[in-house]
């Protein structure tokens, strides 16, 4: 009888790696392969119509009624949102097999969407690695306090948070800030690469605006670009909000946080009618995207339909998504979110001061 031999160091290492490998990795790998013609089709149905519609709107300014130009600008805004998804996939390295192609197409789309490519890519990667982690909030996510944090703030701190979470600010002022103003700011504490990205993007965006203003004027730029940006920005902020802000969402402290659980329980599946799913680049299938950011947007639906591990993910409709905007603070006891009325009920049960909200 042959004596049983111990596995070689290489074989033992391979076996250990396989044991440590997440259970879902082999399932989703085949959806992570980008397809060149599909990626090019995405560009042809996002970047090209956006540029074409904006150009047509600027050229026809003054020759036709603004009530015809405005719908052109709003439709361009819908394609700007879809262009943002191309930029988003490039930042994840999922849009092309070539890293260089992802970088340069991502940078082009970054200029169109007013984003600093390297800075946004870094912050968004942090978001993917920390979504649902109570101890790592604050980078690339919607600012959300726990009930205890909110109640421990002085009255002016609670007022500031309530104003920030007000729908008028969140979905009115917020989109313009998130799309056009915030990305222009290079703070002293930034990583050098992120800071350079912001400054160079500002130069590029400034040159594009300057050329448009020289040829068509400042007023046409404001009257055409802003409606497009507001539509894209509002839709984008709303989408990002409801993808991680819904009833029974996943929030755990760092010692119990789990990446796969955060993706499958803390990211929603927003079911949209086909036209909206097209313009939002399938990003409503956010649970698939957060489990593996390497899946291109055009493979998200197929992965969701073909893999059983997505059978029990949180599902939102347009109606439940809109109602989710009522949720404001984290209940650390349940990991879910509370409305202001629920916060007031808790506050009456355990009052902390005579003044407050």
Q: Which pLDDT score, from 0 to 100, does residue 7 have?
A: 55
Q: Give pLDDT tens digits for 324-349.
A: 999 999 998 887 899 999 998 887 76
Q: Which pLDDT score, from 0 to 100, does residue 13 have?
A: 43
Q: Which pLDDT score, from 0 to 100, does residue 184 have?
A: 92
Q: Where are the domains of the chain?
A: 33-349
CA distance 199 to 195: 6
Q: Which pLDDT score, from 0 to 100, does residue 19 have?
A: 44
Q: Which pLDDT score, from 0 to 100, does residue 299 have?
A: 98
Q: Which pLDDT score, from 0 to 100, does residue 3 have?
A: 47
Q: Which pLDDT score, from 0 to 100, does residue 291 have?
A: 96
pTM confidence score: 0.89
Extract the residue ranges of the chain whose pLDDT is less than 70: 1-20, 349-357
Q: Give pLDDT tens digits for 123-180.
A: 999 999 999 999 998 888 888 999 999 999 999 999 999 999 999 999 988 888 888 8
Q: Which pLDDT score, from 0 to 100, does residue 5 have?
A: 52
Q: Which pLDDT score, from 0 to 100, does residue 128 have?
A: 94
């Amino acid at each position: 009888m042959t004596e049983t031999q111990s596995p070689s160091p290489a074989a033992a290492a391979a076996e250990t790696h396989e044991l440590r490998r997440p259970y879902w990795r082999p399932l989703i790998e085949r959806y992570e392969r980008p397809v060149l013609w599909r990626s090019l089709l995405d560009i042809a149905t996002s970047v090209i119509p956006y540029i074409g519609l904006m150009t047509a709107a600027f050229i026809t300014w003054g020759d036709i009624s603004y009530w015809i130009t405005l719908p052109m600008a709003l439709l361009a805004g819908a394609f700007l949102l879809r262009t943002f998804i191309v930029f988003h996939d490039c930042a994840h390295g999922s849009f092309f097999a070539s890293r260089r192609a992802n970088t340069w197409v991502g940078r082009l789309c970054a200029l169109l969407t007013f984003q600093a490519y390297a800075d946004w890519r870094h912050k968004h990667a942090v978001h993917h690695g920390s979504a649902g982690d109570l101890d790592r909030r604050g980078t690339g996510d919607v600012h959300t306090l726990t009930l205890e944090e909110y109640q421990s703030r002085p009255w002016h701190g609670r007022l500031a948070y309530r104003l920030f979470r007000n729908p008028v600010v969140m979905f009115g002022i917020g989109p313009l800030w998130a799309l056009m103003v915030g990305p222009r700011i290079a703070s002293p504490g930034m990583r050098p690469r992120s800071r350079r990205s912001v400054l160079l993007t500002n130069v590029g965006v400034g040159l594009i605006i300057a050329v448009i203003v020289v040829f068509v004027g400042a007023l046409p730029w404001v009257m055409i670009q802003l409606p497009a940006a507001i539509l894209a920005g509002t839709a984008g902020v709303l989408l990002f909000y409801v993808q991680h802000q819904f009833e029974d969402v996943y929030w755990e402290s760092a010692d119990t946080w789990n990446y796969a659980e955060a993706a499958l329980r803390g990211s929603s599946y927003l079911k949209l009618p086909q036209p909206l799913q097209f313009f939002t680049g399938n990003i409503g299938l956010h649970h698939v995207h957060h489990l593996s950011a390497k899946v291109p947007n055009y493979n998200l639906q197929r992965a969701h339909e073909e893999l059983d591990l997505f059978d029990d993910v949180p599902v939102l409709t347009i109606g439940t998504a809109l109602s989710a905007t009522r949720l404001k603070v984290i209940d650390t006891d349940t990991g879910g979110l509370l409305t202001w009325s629920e916060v007031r009920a808790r506050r009456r049960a355990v009052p902390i001061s005579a003044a407050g909200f």
